[in-house]
Structure 1
């Protein structure tokens, strides 16, 4: 797993342990559920995304003007109170996800979706890079029909541009489970971690090169 990657594992794969997700009726119920609308607090809204390792995704969204905070956690599954170990089995239905707390007067949900698609390999199924497994799959969550429409239109436009299927699943948001404390702000707190140096930071830098106009000054 990421927090105990050996030097050998990093050298060979820069990868995380994973296994396949088993489909079941409980997971299908999550996919078919009515979305939960998260209320705004102090003028700030929340959005939820899964796009591979949450260490990487957290730092990407933290770099954006208008984003106050990003929290790593788990979403999209059918079990309660998932842990990192639970998620890594691939049997809970959850994916490593982030909660993005943002000011909609500064950055829109539509722009957050653009960032989502523009900061990953959009055609890779069940993972990003060498992080393979259902816990690393791409999911974009909607809280209402307007958000769903935005997501589906942007996904369709990207598929037309690429000429191939975009892998991201589109789920009604249900619940976000905060990850263990040691996962929060991981890139900042562990800059010399081999995975961070070889995977997280390069992914962040690729994103920054594509979206310089969206960056906070300290990330430029």
Structure 2
């Protein structure tokens, strides 16, 4: 009985959503879905002006999703990007977004499916116009094959604590070594050498 209680206690702590969100009132937040959130979080955290990136879930009306349920709820793995607008603007965050992915696929290799789809979430009309203009430009570059959704953010749910800063905390993980780090390096090669 004690073993069962201990197992339940440990497993519930792994899935608690106690992630602390930044409280600096000078920061703005933008939301992006682009494949695995471990990769996207690391990409945005490498960009000057970004102060924090939080992995989570958005894009569905179902409340309180978890990593185990998002494949059924319609949520996408999403990253909340906290940034200083005096150092980087929303339009540049969208440039980062498109430079870090293939906008013609639903998901990013090797992660495909609804929970890995490409979405730029906006919080207001100004952001929507910027996102739509950037999408139109990228779509033209890819001959009308871009699949990025542009949606109003309804609610963002931070992912379980063990997903936060996953690439930094698990550099020897096989997925991180085979997928996350190479994707981050491809982005850096394009972004920082432009």
Give the conservation status (yes or no) of the 8 Å contact 2:104–2:142.
no
Shift of 1:46: 0.5
The residue that corresponds to 2:20 in the other structure is none
- Aligned ranges for residues 43-122 of structure 1 at < 5 Å? 43-87=26-70, 90-122=71-103
Pairing 1:30-49 to 2, within 5 Å after superposition: 41-49=24-32
Q: Which runs of 5+ in 1 are unaligned?
A: 1-39, 215-220
User: Secondary structure of the residue that 2:137 maps to in structure 1?
Assistant: helix
Alignment of 1:1-220 (within 5 A): 41-87=24-70, 90-125=71-106, 127-212=107-192
- The TM-score with structure 1 as length reference comes to 0.76
- 1:109 Cα deviation (Å)? 0.3
Q: CA shift at 1:130, angstroms?
A: 1.7
CA distance in 2, matches of 1:165, 1:145: 25
**TM-score, scaled relative to structure 2:** 0.86
Deviations 1:90-133 (A, max 9, x none): 221100000101000000000001111110011002x1112111
Runs of 4+ off more than 3 Å: none
Shift in Å, 1:74: 0.3
**Aligned-pair RMSD on alpha carbons?**
1.3
Q: Contact 2:58–2:75 (CA<8 Å) still a contact in 1?
A: yes
